[in-house]
Structure 1
C-alpha cells in the first residue's frame, strides 16, 4: 500500500518505514506543502533567470557588479545581525554527510560547529535523506547512539562539549522526486529545510543553539531573498520570533561573488556570514565561463587559493563580511590522514597547516575540515593566531577588488596528461560511488565530494571544447578524452578485480561521463544528471 500522507494534495512515491513515518508526520508534511505552494513559483522563476544569465555569458557578457544595487554596496551604515549563541566562535567547523556514525563523530570531534550536509557530501537517496532527518532529530534531542556491525558503540559526549549543529539543505536547483504536491515535484531545498525546521526548531531554541543553516550555491541576491522569505514564513508558522534562524551563505558561484553585500543584506536579520566554498567556486568559474576561450584553466592541482581570481575572491569576502559585522569563514581542507606512509602523511598535514595559517592571517574567523583528525591541527593554528573568538575587528579597508580581479586567470600552470587522467579517474570513482548512494568518498588521499568531481569533468569539457594543448603539445580532442576514459576504466577494472567491477556501477558511471567530456553536451550539475538513477518510486516513472 502506498504511504498515506494524510495531507490533501501531497503524495509520497517512496516506500516509508515505520521509523521514517515519525519524520513524515501529517503536521510536518502539511508544512512542506505550505512552503511549496507559496514559494515554488518563485524558485522556478529564479531557475529560469539562471538560464537567461548563462545565455548572456555564452554570448560574451562578463560578470560585473550590479549597478542597480550599488547603493547597498556603498552604504557603510547597515549591519547584519549580531552573532547568535553558539556561533560567536566558529574557528573550526567540521562538515560531512548525515549518516548516523558521522553525525556522532562530528559532534564529538572538538570542532566548534558541525555542518550536517544534505547537499554535496550526501547522495540524495530516499533512505539517506529521511534517515538523515531522523539522525539530526535524535542529535538535537541528545538521544543519538549507534552500534556498528562489529559491535562498537558510538554515543555523544556527556560533558556538553559537542559541536553546534548547522544544517545544509540542498541547493535551489535540486528536486525531491519522491514527493509531489498537487501533482508537482517539490524542491529538495524546501523539503530538507522544512522537515528539519519543523521537528527541531523549538528544541534548538530550548537548548540555546539554533536553528542554524548553511545555504548553498546561490547565484544572486534574489535567491538569498527567497531563503529569507522562507525563514520568515517558517518562523511565523510555528510562532517563533523572526531573526531566530541564522544562515551562513556559501559563496561558491562566480556570480554570487559579485553580490556578496547584497546577499548579506537580503539575509541580514538572519545572516551568520559568508563562507568561501572554494571547490564549488572553481567549478562555477569554469562552468559559467566555459564557452569563452579566455578562461581556459590549467590542471586542477595548479589552481590554489593564491591564484589571482581565488585570492581576490577571498579578500573581498573577508572585507565584505567584517564591514557588515558577520563571520567570514574559510574553505575546506580536503586532505585526510594517510596511514602506513609517514612521509606522505606529513606532507598532507603540512598542506593543511599552511592552508589554515594563510586563512587566519588573511582575517578569516574560522575554517572547514572534512575529517575529525584534522580538527586539532586546524584548532592549533587558529588558537595561536586568533586567541579571541573571531576577527570581526579586522576591517580590511586596504582591500579594493575590481571585476577584473575576480576574473583574473593569470594562473601559473599547464595542462598535462597526468592532470587529464586524474580528472577522469576522480570523476569515474566519485560518480560510481554516488550512484551507490555515497556522496563523500576518499580518493587519492583526499575526501572528495560532488564539488571536486564537478571541477574534474568541467575541466575535461572545457579542454575538449577549446582544443587545448597539453604541455607536451597534445591537442585535447573528444576522441583523445574518450580513449583516456576507456583506459582509466580498464585500470580501475584491473585494480578492483573482475567480480567486484561487474558488481559496481562503474560501467554506468563511464557511460554518463562520456556524455560530459566532449565539449558538446553539458549538464549544469552532475547530481542532476545522475539523480534519476537513485530515485526509487513506488508508482514508477510516470511522474518523472
Structure 2
C-alpha cells in the first residue's frame, strides 16, 4: 500500500496581512415617502464617519457601566473621585454657557417629534422645546425618520399637518421656542441601519449617533442662520469619560461641516447615580460645548433602584408615589446640581412633574395645577434657572412661579448656594419610612403594562391615570416590582410580593384592559414578565422590547 503524499506546508515570514474594508452603513429599513430626504448619501457618509471614529469608544463606555453596576451591587458604594479632585478644586474654569436663544430657559416643554406634537410645541409659548427622540418617543423606524423630517421642516418654516379627521395644524407663533433635540442614550441601537467597520465586522448602528448625526448634519447651518444653533440634550450619561466622548463628537462634527468650534451646546441630564458623583467632571469635559445640567428625576430614581436592587431591605423604596423630590436622596442630588452648575456658569434646569391637566375634568386639572405650582415654586426657590413641563396648559403655571423669583432676570446664575454641603452618603440616603401598599404594587403593574402596550404601538409619551408616563416612569414601575420580589417584601396589608401574586395582578390588568383592534396587551404582558419577574434584571426594558417587537424585517 503506497502511503499518501502530504503537501509540504509553506511558511510565512512577517506579519499576516489584515483584510481591510471601506466602512459603510447599509439601510436595512424600508424607504417610505420622503425618507430619501433624510437618508441622503452625504448624511449616511457622515454617520459612517461617526461610527468609524467613535463606535469602539461607545462600546468601551458601555462596558464601564456594567463594571460600575457590578461594583455597587457587591457592596462598593460610589464616591466622589479622588483622581479628579483637582478639577473640582480648581476654582478658575467656567463652561461655555448659553448659546443664542438659550439665555432664558425658565419654562421648557418636552415632547415627541411627530408633526402634530412638533407644531403644538412650537406654538406653546415655552422658551425651549425639548424635541425628544428618546424616552418620549417609541423608536419605531417610522418615528425615527419621520421625526427627523418634522424637525427638518419645522426649522425651515415648512411644517404643517392635517389629521385623519381633517383638522389642519400650522405654526402660528411669532416667537417659537429654541429647539434642543434629545437623541437616544448610548445603550440603544438602531437596527434598521447596519454599520460595517474596516475589519468587515457588521453591527447595528448606535441610536445615539443616528439621532444626533442626522439632526446635526441636516440642520446645524440652518439653525445658525435662524439665529439659534445645534443644541442637544444628552441622556443617560454615567461618567465624565462619556462626556468626553460626546465632546469629541461635537468637535469633530463642527470641523466636518465647517462651523466654529463651540457652536454646539449641550445640556446633560443628570439622571443616573454615577453621574451625580461626577457633575463637575462632566461639566469640565464638555466645557467648550455645555450650557447646563438637568435634574432628570424619574430616570434618577430608576438608576437608584437598578444599582441597589440586590443590596438588602434598607435600599428598598416604597410606593412610587411616595418617592417625591423632598425625600433625602432626591433633595441632596438636586441641591448639589444647582450649586455645581452655578459655580461653573452653567444653567440648572429642573425636572418634570408627572401631573397633567385633563380638559374634560376640571377637578383633575385643578389638582394638577396645584401640584405643579408647588413643584415649580420649590425649584425656583432652590435656585434652578428653568424647568420642564409636558403639557402646554402647564406653561403659565410654571412660568408664574419662576417669574416670581426671576422677575426680569433671564436666570439666577449668580445664586451660588455656598450653604449646600452634600456628602457621598447623602446621595444614597434612600430611607423614606413609608410602606409598600397593595395599591402601589397594583399601580406599578397596571401602569407598566399599559405604557409598554402603547410603546409597542409607537407611542412614547402616554397619559395614564392623569399622569404623563414615559419610558423612565415605566422603568421605575417594573424595577420596583423586581426588587420587591427579590427582597421578599410584603405589603402594608400583609401580602407577600411574590411572582405568583404579580401574575394574578397581570391577569387582572389584562382582564380589564381597553382592548381593540391591533392592541398589544399580550405582547406588553410578555415583556413585563421578562423584565419584572425574571431571575435576571435587564438593564433597560426597552432593549428586549425593541429587538423583539419594533424592528421591521423583510
Tell me the TM-score range normalised by the shorter chain.
Answer: over 0.9
**Aligned pairs (5 A) from 1:192-271:** 192-271=211-290
- 1:423 and 2:451 equivalent? no
Q: Is the 8 A contact 2:23 2:48 kept in 1?
A: no
SS at match of 2:488: coil
Candidates 28, 42, 61, aligned match of 1:13: 28
Candidates 183, 188, 203, aligned match of 2:207: 188
Candidates 381, 392, 402, aligned match of 2:401: 381
Candidates 121, 133, 136, aligned match of 1:121: 136
**1:158 Cα deviation from its structure 2 partner:** 5.3
Partner of 2:12: none
- 1:395 and 2:416 equivalent? yes
Do the aligned partners of residues 128 and 240 (structure 1) sit closer, same or farther apart at CA in structure 2, a change above 3 Å counting? Answer: same
SS at match of 2:204: strand
Cα deviation 1:216-269 (Å, max 9, x = unaligned): 001111111110010001001011111000000000001110000011111111
How many correspondences in the alignment?
526
TM-score (norm 2): 0.93
Partner of 1:330: 350
Q: Is the 8 A contact 1:93 1:368 kept in 2?
A: yes
Do the aligned partners of residues 150 and 323 (structure 1) sit closer, same or farther apart at CA in structure 2, a change above 3 Å counting? Answer: same
Q: Is the 8 A contact 1:428 1:513 kept in 2?
A: yes
Candidates 426, 445, 449, aligned match of 1:405: 426
Partner of 2:495: 474
- 1:179 and 2:193 equivalent? yes
**1:42 Cα deviation from its structure 2 partner:** 0.3
Candidates 281, 304, 307, aligned match of 2:327: 307
Candidates 376, 394, 397, aligned match of 1:356: 376
- 1:529 and 2:544 equivalent? yes
Q: Is the 8 A contact 1:125 1:534 kept in 2?
A: no
**1:156 Cα deviation from its structure 2 partner:** 1.2
Cα deviation 1:391-418 (Å, max 9, x = unaligned): 1010000000001100111213210000
Cα deviation 1:324-357 (Å, max 9, x = unaligned): 0010000002222123432232112100000000
- 1:371 and 2:391 equivalent? yes
Cα deviation 1:286-325 (Å, max 9, x = unaligned): 0111111131010001010000000000000000000000
Partner of 2:160: 145
**Aligned pairs (5 A) from 1:28-177:** 28-157=43-172, 159=174, 161-177=175-191
Partner of 1:4: none
SS at match of 2:30: coil
Aligned equivalents of 2:405 and 2:459: distance in 1? 36
Aligned equivalents of 2:363 and 2:223: distance in 1? 44
Q: Is the 8 A contact 2:80 2:278 kept in 1?
A: yes
**1:470 Cα deviation from its structure 2 partner:** 1.1
Partner of 1:414: 435
Candidates 446, 456, 468, aligned match of 1:435: 456
Do the aligned partners of residues 55 and 85 (structure 1) sit closer, same or farther apart at CA in structure 2, a change above 3 Å counting? Answer: same
Partner of 1:488: 509
Aligned equivalents of 1:197 and 1:43: distance in 2? 19
Structure number with bigger Rg: 2
**1:55 Cα deviation from its structure 2 partner:** 1.3
**1:517 Cα deviation from its structure 2 partner:** 2.4
- 1:279 and 2:279 equivalent? no
Q: Is the 8 A contact 1:275 1:328 kept in 2?
A: yes
- 1:320 and 2:335 equivalent? no
Cα deviation 1:475-532 (Å, max 9, x = unaligned): 212221222222222222xxx25xx1x7311011111111222362211111112002
Do the aligned partners of residues 316 and 8 (structure 1) sit closer, same or farther apart at CA in structure 2, a change above 3 Å counting? Answer: closer
SS at match of 2:187: coil
Q: Is the 8 A contact 2:456 2:550 kept in 1?
A: no
Q: Is the 8 A contact 1:463 1:519 kept in 2?
A: no
Aligned equivalents of 2:308 and 2:551: distance in 1? 35
SS at match of 1:329: strand
Partner of 1:518: 533
| Pairwise CA RMSD | 1.3
Aligned equivalents of 2:97 and 2:305: distance in 1? 35
Partner of 1:295: 315
Aligned equivalents of 2:399 and 2:496: distance in 1? 45
**1:8 Cα deviation from its structure 2 partner:** 6.4
Q: Is the 8 A contact 1:465 1:518 kept in 2?
A: no
Q: Is the 8 A contact 1:465 1:519 kept in 2?
A: no
Q: Is the 8 A contact 2:107 2:126 kept in 1?
A: yes
Aligned equivalents of 1:340 and 1:186: distance in 2? 43
**1:383 Cα deviation from its structure 2 partner:** 1.1
Aligned equivalents of 2:195 and 2:501: distance in 1? 46
SS at match of 1:517: helix
Gaps of 5+ in 1: 1-6
SS at match of 1:338: coil
SS at match of 1:503: coil
**1:208 Cα deviation from its structure 2 partner:** 1.4
**1:136 Cα deviation from its structure 2 partner:** 0.3
Cα deviation 1:78-134 (Å, max 9, x = unaligned): 100132111110000000001001011101100000000010000111110100001
Q: Is the 8 A contact 2:23 2:52 kept in 1?
A: no
